[in-house]
Structure 1
Amino acid sequence: MRQAKTGDVVRVHYTGRLTDGTEFDSSQGREPLEFQVGSGQIIPGLEKHVEGMEVGQKSTVTVPAEEAYGARDERQVQSVPRDSLPDDLDLELGSRLTATTREGRQIPLTVIDLDENQVTVDANHPLAGQDLIFDLELVEIVGSEPGETFGR
């Protein structure tokens, strides 16, 4: 049976959970996730695991934080004066904001603390610093050649 290799476009069903069992994402009820193996479209540890899988194969993999969203970086946590933010922002714990750098790059932020004077935001990915567990099923290898498809 054909195995997924670098350059192949594959489709996988997945469920992602934290080490405490909390589910954070799943393709259940949706189309399978489609990506090209080796292109860096998904986290490195998951991509490495899919390479070599066969269509129909199911597997569970634990991806360490450094092969997922990396370690938490406390330098990414900043407090800003509340009056430096637009007045019309509806701020509460967990609010998602976006900052724009001078170069025009968008940075997603999460409000992690606030009071009447300060707002503390975190630019780390919400899953940074966490090992992730994925249940996977390789549904289809679309292939790297035009018209090439391997599936059930």
Structure 2
Amino acid sequence: MQIEKNIVVSIHYRLTDDNQQEIENSFGDIPMSYLHGHNTMIPGLESELEGKQAGDKLNVTVTPENGYGEYSDGLKQQVPADAFAGLDPEPGMQFTADTDQGPMPVTVVDVNEEFVTVDGNHPFAGQTLHFEVEVVELRDATPTEIEHGHLHGHGDCDHDH
């Protein structure tokens, strides 16, 4: 079996930045699984995994345009501090903001008495990412997973389609 659309792929990976600083590492833990070909993986990594088999190991470099996109200053903004009434925002906290484009995850980057500065960029936006990957396991997706476009754990799907 090889990686292609509608295959559930389980991988171990080590993610580093351009300075070889480790960002994430799944080796020694539970592998990450995803449904191939359904836009649930960054495009640059998914395309490099196409055609691979269980046991394959590879190193992949993903540029921002094939990863989490370029960094956009337009996604950083100051919000009046009183909009966070009852909360105590601190740099690094993440919230989901209601925007004109729908819900958007944002990270608090600065707090002062008047404003809370939030950033809607993905934390890896603008970065070239370096992956060390081992393909651990492959299986056919279930008809429900294919229909819904994502993996299902044990039990029924807990959302509407």
Aligned to 1:74: 73
SS in 2 for 1:110: strand
> Where does residue 142 of structure 1 map in the other structure?
139
For structure 2, which runs of at least 5 residues remain unmatched after alignment?
144-161
- Partner residue in 1 for 2:129: 132
Unaligned runs of 5+ in 1: 147-152
Structure 1 residue 80 displacement after superposition? 1.5
2:33 is matched with which residue? Answer: 34
SS in 2 for 1:124: coil
Aligned-pair CA distance for 1:139: 1.2
TM-score by length of 1: 0.84
List structure 1 segments (4+ residues) > 4 angstroms apart after TM superposition: none
Match of 2:93 among 67, 92, 95: 95
Distance 1:29 1:106, change over 3 A: farther
Q: Find the counterpart in structure 1 of residue 9 from structure 2.
A: 10
Show CA shifts across 1:47-92 (max 9, x none). 1011121221111100111111101111101112212321x21122
Question: Distance between the aligned counterparts of 1:6 and 1:51, measured in 2?
Answer: 9
| Residues 92-131 of structure 1 mapped to structure 2, 5 A cutoff | 92-101=90-99, 105-131=102-128
TM-score, structure 2 as length reference: 0.80
CA distance in 1, matches of 2:77, 2:140: 45
RMSD after superposition:
1.9
